[in-house]
């Protein structure tokens, strides 16, 4: 209980992560797509971690509209 209280009082506990994501996360996502779907993705340029569903949907239109 004391550990829970201490964590709740720590301001660092209540922060969203960066939307860039860690390199490890991006590489894991690219590996999943490679293994599951046979698709090669660049973890730096083609993997976009999202903080939630609305943010993810917001990335679809610019990604689809980009030339190439």
The pLDDT, as a whole number, for residue 4 is: 93
The pLDDT, as a whole number, for residue 68 is: 65
Domain count of the fold of the chain: 1
Domain limits for position 60: 2-65
The pLDDT, as a whole number, for residue 42 is: 96
The pLDDT, as a whole number, for residue 55 is: 82
The pLDDT, as a whole number, for residue 27 is: 96
What does each of the 68 residues of the chain score in pLDDT, given as a tens digit?
999 999 999 988 877 766 778 899 999 999 999 999 999 999 999 998 887 888 888 888 887 887 76
Are the C-beta atoms of residues 42 and 62 closer than 8 Å to each other? no
Q: Would residue 38 be called left, alpha or beta, if left means φ above 0 and alpha means ψ between -120 and 50 degrees?
A: left
Using CA atoms, how far apart are residues 54 and 60, in angstroms rounded to an integer? 10
């Amino acid at each position: 209980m004391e550990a829970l209280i201490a964590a709740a009082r720590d301001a660092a506990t209540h922060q969203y992560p960066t939307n860039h994501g860690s390199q490890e996360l991006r590489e894991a996502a690219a590996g999943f797509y490679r293994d599951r779907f046979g698709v090669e993705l660049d973890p730096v340029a083609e993997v976009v971690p999202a903080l939630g569903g609305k943010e993810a949907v917001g990335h679809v239109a610019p990604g689809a509209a980009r030339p190439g």
